[in-house]
């Protein structure tokens, strides 16, 4: 049986690689990332990175770095390659609540226990809402491969944790569940439409 260390390395590789097909899709114009979602994700990723203690295991540290860098790079790309749409009510709500949650996190970040992580996850979920709505309404406009990578990497990361605690499990489990919500409608649409797998890539 593989040791947690190797699961962690595999998860790290898959998660880091997830940005490659998504970046290609952005430059090709085959995906249109929600700018609000990726902005909040980049800010929250930075927050996660800040609150990661020096005593955290390798998997947790790896997740927080990727959770910060990947969304930040994608958000920057949306400024140059994305299409601008005036934020609607849901996007404004997600942005305001997400930023409010970050402010609350700043207040409680020195608290012990899982509270800071729970607050950060709540903010992240606010960022997820506009993207969830988008993939449900227009699954043909979002390439699934990058999201599948992120789902698999997050799932494998659960097995890469050296010491299971509620704090160490919260982030990878949430990421696994959150990305599954995005992956499911994308795959369901392509199966229903009998789209060849080679067209799922970018």
Using the predicted structure, report yes or no on whether residue 118 has a pLDDT greater than 90.
no
The rounded distance, in Å, linking the Cα atoms of 150 and 11 is: 9
Q: Output the pLDDT for position 49.
A: 76
Q: Output the pLDDT for position 109.
A: 67
What does the pLDDT look like over 127-144, one tens digit per residue?
Answer: 788 889 889 988 988 888
What does the pLDDT look like over 48-92, one tens digit per residue?
Answer: 777 665 656 666 677 778 888 888 999 898 888 766 567 778 777
- Residue spans of the domains in the chain: they are 4-199
The rounded distance, in Å, linking the Cα atoms of 177 and 188 is: 17
What does the pLDDT look like over 146-196, one tens digit per residue?
Answer: 899 989 998 998 888 877 888 778 888 998 999 999 999 999 999 999 888
Torsion on CA atoms 197, 124, 132, 76, rounded to nearest 10: -70
């Amino acid at each position: 049986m593989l040791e947690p260390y190797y699961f962690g390395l595999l998860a790290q590789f898959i998660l880091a690689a997830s940005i490659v097909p998504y970046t290609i899709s952005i430059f090709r114009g085959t995906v249109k990332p929600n700018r609000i979602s990726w902005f909040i994700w980049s800010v929250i990723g930075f927050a996660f990175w800040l609150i990661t203690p020096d005593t955290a295991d390798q998997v947790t540290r790896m997740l927080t770095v990727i959770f910060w860098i990947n969304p930040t790079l994608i958000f920057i790309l949306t400024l140059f390659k994305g299409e601008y749409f005036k934020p609607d009510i849901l996007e404004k709500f997600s942005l305001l609540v997400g930023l409010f949650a970050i402010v609350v996190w700043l207040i409680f970040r020195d608290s012990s226990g899982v509270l800071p992580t729970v607050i950060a996850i709540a903010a992240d979920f606010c960022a997820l809402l506009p993207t969830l709505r988008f993939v449900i309404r227009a699954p043909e406009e979002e390439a699934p491969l990058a999201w599948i990578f992120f789902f698999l990497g997050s799932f494998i990361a659960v097995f890469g944790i050296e010491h299971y605690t509620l704090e160490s499990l919260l982030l990878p489990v949430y990421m696994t569940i959150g990305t599954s919500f995005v992956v499911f409608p994308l795959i369901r649409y392509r199966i229903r439409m009998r789209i060849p797998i080679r067209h799922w890539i970018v």
